[in-house]
Amino acid sequence: MTQPPGFFLTFFPRRPLDIGARKFFASLRVMPRNMIQGGGGILRYLRRGGALIRPTRVAIANGLVRRICLSTNHHLVNATAKTIRPSVILSRPLINSFATTSTPDEETETTKSKGSKTGKKKTTKKRSSTAKAKDKPKPRKRLTEKQKEAKKAEKTKELVKQLKKTALEPPKKLIENPWNLAIATVAKEIQARGVKGPDFVAQCSQLAQSISAEERERIATEAEANKAANAAAYDAWIKEHTPLQIREANAARRRLNKIKDTSLRLLRDDRQVKRPRTAYLLYMLDRTGEGDFKYMKAKDIALRVTEEWKGLTSTEKEKYLRQAEQDRERYRQEYREVYGEEPSTSRSTSPSPSTEQDFDTDDTHSVHSSLSHGASTLFSHDDRSSVSSGPVSVQAVTGVPDRAARLRFRAENIYPDHFTLADIEVPRGPWVYLACPGSRRKCPHCKVHVSHNDYVVVAVDGACSNNGKDAARSSYGVFWGHNNVLNTAVPVEGERHHTNQVAELRACMRALLDVVHVKSLFEDQGGALNAVVIKSDSEYLVRGVTDWLPKWKRNGWKNCRGLDVVNWEHFKAIERLIEGLEEQKILVKFWHVPRKNNRDADAMAKAVLRGGWNRGLGLLPPL
């Protein structure tokens, strides 16, 4: 028989027990079971093989309690012995402070029991969590610069496709210019000969000049008939569309001109509603129409009118404010009647000129002044090719009799400080246009400012080798734009003396002669040509035409020394050409620039002397 533990032998020697002792030990044996059954909370669910003392806060070895209980039994200990895994039972406060939920699949970690008197035993405790960790979002893939450019180009391509669909396509025109019609008539004959390239244009020009008088009369009659037919076809095509469709088409054309290197003309439609005018604009029109500022510069006029407007009392401004409100009401009413919808909400306008804006961003530039020749307006309200949203500066002097002020183009008096000389010219396609002074920044796509597509810049320059000597040779170049058929670079012929000054004058004459053809080209495309700026790096040409010519005429073409003016025939021819263009409502301006800003025409003229360029591509007869 298994012997009881040593400490029991010490307190309870081996001798027969009386009845009282037996009852005492019997009560000890059932005490743990009673405590478990009568205990509260978690004790009810413990295995009855274990025992604990209710108020304890430390771990108790079940084996010790079991040995105490079995020591009172007279039967063999091994008869009831059972392998029992030791467990740790904690009191309620400890259970509440450490209890967490767990899942069966979670990992377990080994911990050490604290406060054990017999030794430290390792137990396991499940690690629990309240929620599964959320999946981290995958990092967004970064595009390379090349991929960004490709994506941007794809969006632009789709936008251009939609805009072209909205912009509409007017019917093609028949040839209206008699000279162009004559060229087209003889072109088939020249083409049948197999002639191509620059020689093709030259031979067409020569053959067109040699046609008979009867043929010229027939061509002129046909050109007039074509002009009438084009007008009728265009009007019929316009009426096939609603005014709202034409308005949206013009908006799409403006957008295309900004994002692409194009020069689409806006559609002409008399049904379109005219934009309202602001109170400040009405006041400026009144003041400039009175003629008080005819001897002042454009910049000074704007400053003077602005100061006067700020100095007006509320009563004095009431007249113009009332007129502006009436004009806005007229615009809203006509807008609803013509377009069938409510007009977009306009920006609030303040009487102060510093905040004067157009009625909306689709509007074009305001009328700030008239051209010096009075019939047209420079950067006028009808210039639908421009889309600047801000107020523009006064661009010309009204009614200035001084020839120099009328013909001289002074960019420093027109454009703000953020414009460079290169920014003033806006190349678009085969032409070079004038930038709008109201443009505050360049287009992010085109890298240029907004332009006025009815104001063209043409560069002229002359070159001479052995200047002033008997063996001198001279040439000139006229540059309208890249890949323009009117670009001309030819040697100077028919002159007794070849000088650089003569070459400059001949280049100017060539450009002025071609302006007539440029005007017809613009009109054939549905546009208009209102002004031409002759750009030259020759002070002799610019000052001779603008400053010295009137004095020479008064002196009978004599200079201050009483001698004949050199090259007076050329200056007189230039004056006649300018007068003829002004009769056709085309303003001519002369712009003096540094040589580095006139490289295109200069390179063309010098290339002729080197034998690298000898082409006269102008479609008009040579000088």
Task: Tell me which residue of 349, 307, 309, 343 sits closest to 325, measured CA to CA.
Answer: 349
Instruction: For residue 77, name the pLDDT band (cuts at 50, 70, 90).
Output: very low
Q: How confident is the model over 574-579, as a mean pLDDT?
A: 90
∠ at Cα 343 (340, 348), nearest 5°?
170
Instruction: For residue 420, name the pLDDT band (cuts at 50, 70, 90).
Output: confident
In this structure, the number of other CB atoms found within 10 A of the CB of residue 414 comes to 21
| Cα–Cα dist 276/269, whole Å | 17
pLDDT > 70: percent of the chain: 65
| Cα–Cα dist 374/398, whole Å | 7
Instruction: For residue 402, name the pLDDT band (cuts at 50, 70, 90).
Output: low
Q: What is the pLDDT of residue 479?
A: 94
* CATH number for the domain whose boundaries are 402-623: 3.30.420.10
Q: Among 43-52, 201-210, 312-321, 365-374, name the one with the lowest average pLDDT.
A: 365-374
Q: How confident is the model over 119-147, as a mean pLDDT?
A: 64
**Residue 236: pLDDT above 90?**
yes
- The three-class DSSP label of residue 291 is coil
**Beta carbons of 609 and 553 less than 8 angstroms apart:** no
Written in H, E and C, the secondary structure of 329-398 is HHHHHHHHHHHCCCCCCCCCCCCCHHHCCCCCCCCCCCCCCCCCCCCCCCCCCCCCCCCCCCCCCCCCCC
- Which part of the chain is CATH 3.30.420.10? 402-623
The amino acid that residue 291 corresponds to is: G
**Residue 44: pLDDT above 60?**
no
| Cα–Cα dist 617/577, whole Å | 20
> Strand 488-491 to strand 531-536: parallel, antiparallel, or no bridges (unpaired)?
unpaired
Q: What is the pLDDT of residue 99?
A: 47
**Residue 24: pLDDT above 80?**
no
Instruction: For residue 507, name the pLDDT band (cuts at 50, 70, 90).
Output: very high
Q: What is the pLDDT of residue 302?
A: 78
Q: How confident is the model over 238-248, as a mean pLDDT?
A: 91
More confident residue, 385 or 146: 146
Q: Among 55-64, 141-150, 406-415, name the one with the lowest average pLDDT.
A: 55-64
Phi, psi for 291 (deg, rounded to 5): 85, 15
| pLDDT, tens digit, 9 for 90 and up, residues 431-468 | 999 988 888 888 777 778 888 888 999 999 999 988 76
Tally of residues, the chain: 623
Which pair of structure tokens corresponds to residue 373?
């020749």
| pLDDT, tens digit, 9 for 90 and up, residues 310-368 | 888 888 899 999 999 999 999 999 988 888 888 875 443 444 443 333 333 333 333 33
Classify domain 273-379 by CATH architecture.
Orthogonal Bundle (1.10)
Task: Tell me which residue of 592, 589, 582 sits closest to 461, measured CA to CA.
Answer: 592
Q: What is the pLDDT of residue 611?
A: 78
Task: Tell me which residue of 484, 463, 510 sits closest to 611, measured CA to CA.
Answer: 463
**Beta carbons of 380 and 295 less than 8 angstroms apart:** no
Q: What is the pLDDT of residue 512?
A: 92
pLDDT > 90: percent of the chain: 15
Q: What is the pLDDT of residue 91?
A: 47
| Cα–Cα dist 148/424, whole Å | 31
Q: What is the pLDDT of residue 37?
A: 55
**Residue 48: pLDDT above 70?**
no
432 forms beta bridges with 427
Task: Tell me which residue of 293, 503, 514, 569 sits closest to 405, measured CA to CA.
Answer: 293
- Which part of the chain is CATH 1.10.30.10? 273-379
Q: What is the pLDDT of residue 20?
A: 66
**Residue 300: pLDDT above 80?**
no
Distances, alpha carbon 115 to alpha carbons 56, 87, 334, 479, 605, in Å:
11, 14, 96, 103, 108
